[in-house]
Structures are given as C-alpha cells and as structure tokens.
Amino acid sequence: MPARILDGTKLAADIRAEVAAEVAALAAAGTRPGLAVVLAGHDPASEIYVRGKVKACEEVGIYSEKLTPPDSITTDELLRQVEDLNRRDEIDGILVQLPLPPQIDSKKVLLAVDPAKDVDGFHPVNVGFLSTQRPGLVPCTPAGVMEILKRSDIAVAGQEAVVVGRSDIVGKPVAMLLLNANATVTVCHSKTHDLAEVCRRADILVAAIGRAGMITRDFVKPGATVIDVGMNKVTDPVEFARLFAGNAKREESFRTKGSTLVGDVHPEVAEIAGAITPVPGGVGPLTIAMLMFNTVKAARMRRASNVPELSRA
C-alpha cells in the first residue's frame, strides 16, 4: 500500500493561521512582535529565502525589518549592528542569514545575538536549554519536523527513531527533540557502519544528509514514517533518471527547467513507507512557519509581564 503523504504545505498554513491569531491578540494588547533579518552580501539563494521570510511576516502581521549590509562588511561592524538590534525593544527576533561573507567570523556573530531574540535557536544558550528541556527557542526546521509528527498523530514515545545527519542546525536538534519526546534515538553520519541496516530499525526515519535520493527502499522498514529534510537540486539527466524515470510530470518539468528539487529519500520509498513527507511540500514549508512561531514565542517570553497568557506553550 502506498504511504500516507504528510502534507507540509497544509500543516504550515495551519500554523501560520494560528500564529496570525496570536499576533492579532498581542497587537490588541499593545505589543506587535518584530523580526529583524540581517542579509549580508548578495548570495542569490539567501536573497530568495529572506524574501520569503519577510513576506511571511507581512502575512501573519509581524513587524519585519531587513538589514542589508554590503559584502565588504567587517566582523566588528556586523557585531555592532547585532548589538544595536539586541538593544531595541521592538525587535523580538534576530535572524542572521547564513552563509555570511567569507571574511566574517560567523560563530562570533551568532554568539553575539541575544539568546532571548535568537529565533533560529542556534545560540549555545538555546542549545543548552533544548538539551536540558528548559523553555527556549528551538531551531525552526527540527521544530517543524516535530510539528509534522504531532499534527499527523504519529506516535513518538517509545518508538525507534533514526536520524541520518548530525549537523548543528538539523540532525542534532532533531535527535534531541525526538529524545525529549521519549523516542529511542540513534544518530547516524558519514562514518556509520551498515547504515542501511541501522536505518531499517527505525519506526521513524529522519533523513538530513544533503544527498539526492540516497535513502532507497533497502533503508526502510515497511510501514515506517519517513521524514525527508533534504533539499537537493538535480541537474544531471542520469541522476534524474535514477530517481524519476517513468514519472511523466517530473520528466516534463525537468525538460522545461533543466533541474528538479529532490530530497534525500528516493521516491520509491513511498511504495513501502507507512507515511512520508514529499519534496517539495514536506518539511520545507514548516521551516518558515516555525520562524514565525518562534518570533511570537520570543515576544511572549521577553514581554511576559505585560502581555496576556496566550494559547500555546
């Protein structure tokens, strides 16, 4: 039986509607949440991501501000901009878009963001809060993965979860969130032996690798839930054929555009998984929705004394 498709676009729209309602309630109480996005330089992919984030803010009623320092900015100058945003009361969230220009000490800049405004959840203080189960700001993509599971009624407690990938922004925080939700968690990486065998143990398999269609049916226990975080652009016709031969719709779009977006999970996995996130339209849309959620959460936590208690913890 083909897998249940976990529709990230729909789930993200639900979250954004909930966030919009909270923003309206906060605004009625005299507080409008605000997000500042810092985009240094002209990385084309970053420009697209930032545009999407600013637009999402407008749609849910969050005040947004885009700072665009030039490519040539120094670490010290960028630190001063971040410190200025830290001081401004109307800014609840600060997002420094990565990658930064090569001369910038990225770690130093991320460390300078006030943890209370760190809506990306990358600051070591928030990483520590996550691992010790204290309230804090959780990285957006991992938080989105958990929302997909929760809102799709997929049990996590007591389940075997395998996460492939151990990056600071996806693999590790996803693993920590699954552990906090009482799954039995295994984290795999490029040095893992017998990866397919380890993955086949999973009731919940999360792929955050960055390799197009690497997780084939041999990696998946029939009936497992498969969450595909990967976003890979495929332009090679041979690679395309390995993944999508016989898929008329994709073939047509590949012919027209010369590329296609594919996850880390081979499409054939949908034939044996119990539930699966598509790419596109799976985890991706949740990332921006959770950024909006985090901005409102930051506003609520920072201004706890002068805003009314709202619906979500």
What the block records as the tokens of 313 is: 């913890």
Only segment of 17-25, 198-206, 217-225, 281-289 that touches ligand NAP (CB under 6 A) = 281-289
Contact pick of 52, 69, 210, 281 for ligand NAP (by CB under 6 A): 210
Is 103 a known active-site residue? Answer: no
**How far is residue 95's CA from residue 180's CA, in Å, rounded to a whole number?**
25
| Residue nearest to ligand NAP according to CB distances in the complex | 167
Element holding 49 (H helix, E strand): helix 44-60
Interaction between residue 259 and ligand NAP (CB under 6 A): no
Interaction between residue 141 and ligand NAP (CB under 6 A): yes
The neighbour count for residue 246, using CB atoms within 10 Å, is 8
Q: Which is nearer to ligand NAP, 75 or 192 (CB)?
A: 192
Site for ligand NAP in 174-203 (CB under 6 A): 188-192, 195
The neighbour count for residue 84, using CB atoms within 10 Å, is 12
Interaction between residue 169 and ligand NAP (CB under 6 A): yes
Is 55 a known active-site residue? Answer: no
Only segment of 159-167, 177-185, 235-243, 250-258 that touches ligand NAP (CB under 6 A) = 159-167
What the block records as the tokens of 3 is: 């897998």
**How far is residue 278's CA from residue 129's CA, in Å, rounded to a whole number?**
31
Query: Three-class SS of residue 110?
Result: helix
Q: Is 207 exposed, middle or buried (0-12, 13-18, 19+ CB in 10 A)?
A: buried
CA-closest candidate to residue 140, choices 22, 9, 229 = 229
Site for ligand NAP in 3-42 (CB under 6 A): none
Interaction between residue 162 and ligand NAP (CB under 6 A): no
Active site residues: 53, 97, 120
Binding site for ligand NAP (CB under 6 A): 141, 164-167, 169-171, 188-192, 195, 208-211, 229-232, 283-284, 287
